[in-house]
């Protein structure tokens, strides 16, 4: 049976998510955001191979969890679509995924340091980020998640965390909604900047896991506030 078309409102929201992530400096010419398909938990929506700041409705394609297009298209897919499919497969609770190379996070991945919640806005970091070492899964690579095997290894490294650092590459955040995934991607980058700054001053007092849990519930319960603000500066999308 053919896959039913996605909710047009969800497609528009995914376009807006792409534009927000670009405006907020999380993605540039690279990076991507996906959302689980509203008609099928075994499919997700992701743009074709285009810079997130330029993504339009017509670019949004449906993929199965193996990274195959749900229907034929001449549009070229992102090489790293396996990040999304394998995380959706491993984590039924995840409804949206952001993969980026946001710069402040990179030093943590290459030094084996966890990103930890430095303030209430990043309670989603919980006990800290996890780390993916691609050499363990693929030996010498170009660092990209080019196939399902690397995607599965990344999903395994993510575990039950909401953020996984990818050594020498970037990071991936997951969330139970698209708005929250965008929020987390913005604040993972913000947390990294603050954590680097604080470390210069001395030992850092991070949120405890309990504080992180409480803070996450409080801030992400209000996620529509920043989402509306960030959407406002984008205007109408085509
Ligand atoms: Mn990448």
Q: What's the CATH number where 150 sits?
A: 3.40.225.10
Q: What is the pLDDT of residue 2?
A: 86
Please report whether residue 24 resides in a domain.
yes
Please report whether residue 233 resides in a domain.
no
Please report whether residue 235 resides in a domain.
no
52 CA from centroid of ligand 1 (Å): 13
Please report whether residue 206 resides in a domain.
yes
198 CA from centroid of ligand 1 (Å): 27
Residue 165 tokens read as: 């650092």
Q: What is the pLDDT of residue 28?
A: 96
Which residue in 25, 24, 19 sits closest to 51, CA to CA?
Answer: 19
The 10s digit of each residue's pLDDT in 125-137 is 999 999 999 999 9
Please report whether residue 236 resides in a domain.
no
Residues of the chain with pLDDT under 70: 1
**H-run or E-run covering 173:** strand 170-175
Tell me the β-bridge partners of 46: 34, 61
Q: What is the pLDDT of residue 236?
A: 85
Helices (H), the chain: 8-23, 82-90, 106-111, 134-138, 148-158, 178-201, 209-220, 224-232
Q: Structure pTM?
A: 0.98
Coil, strand or helix at 200 = helix
Please report whether residue 80 resides in a domain.
yes
CA distances from 222 to 22, 186, 201, 215, 225 (A): 22, 15, 31, 11, 6
Q: Kindly report the number of other CB atoms within 10 A of residue 49's CB atom.
A: 15
Please report whether residue 3 resides in a domain.
no
Q: What is the pLDDT of residue 233?
A: 87
Domain count, the chain: 1
Catalytic residues: 80
The 10s digit of each residue's pLDDT in 193-215 is 999 999 999 999 999 999 999 99
Q: What is the pLDDT of residue 204?
A: 97
170 CA from centroid of ligand 1 (Å): 6
Domain membership of residue 129 as a residue range: 8-227
Please report whether residue 122 resides in a domain.
yes
């Amino acid at each position: 049976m053919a896959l039913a078309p996605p909710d047009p409102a969800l497609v528009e929201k995914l376009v807006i998510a792409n534009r927000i992530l670009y405006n907020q400096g999380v993605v540039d010419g690279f990076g991507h955001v996906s959302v689980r398909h509203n008609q099928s938990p075994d499919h997700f929506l992701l743009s074709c191979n285009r810079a997130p700041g330029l993504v339009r409705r017509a670019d949004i394609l449906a993929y199965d969890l193996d990274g195959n297009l749900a229907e034929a298209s001449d549009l070229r897919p992102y090489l790293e679509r396996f990040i999304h499919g394998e995380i959706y497969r491993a984590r039924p609770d995840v409804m949206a995924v952001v993969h980026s190379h946001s710069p402040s996070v990179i030093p943590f991945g290459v030094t084996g340091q966890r990103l930890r919640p430095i303030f209430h806005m990043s309670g989603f970091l919980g006990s800290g980020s996890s780390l993916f070492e691609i050499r363990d899964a693929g030996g010498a690579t170009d660092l990209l998640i080019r196939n399902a095997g690397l995607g599965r290894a990344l999903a395994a490294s993510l575990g039950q965390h909401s953020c996984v650092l990818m050594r020498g590459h970037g990071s991936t955040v997951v969330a139970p909604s698209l708005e929250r995934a965008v929020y987390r991607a913005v604040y993972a980058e913000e947390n990294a900047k603050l954590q680097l700054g604080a470390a210069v001053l001395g030992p850092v007092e991070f949120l405890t896991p309990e504080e992180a849990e409480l803070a996450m519930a409080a801030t992400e319960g209000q996620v529509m506030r920043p989402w509306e603000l960030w959407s406002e500066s984008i205007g109408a999308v085509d």
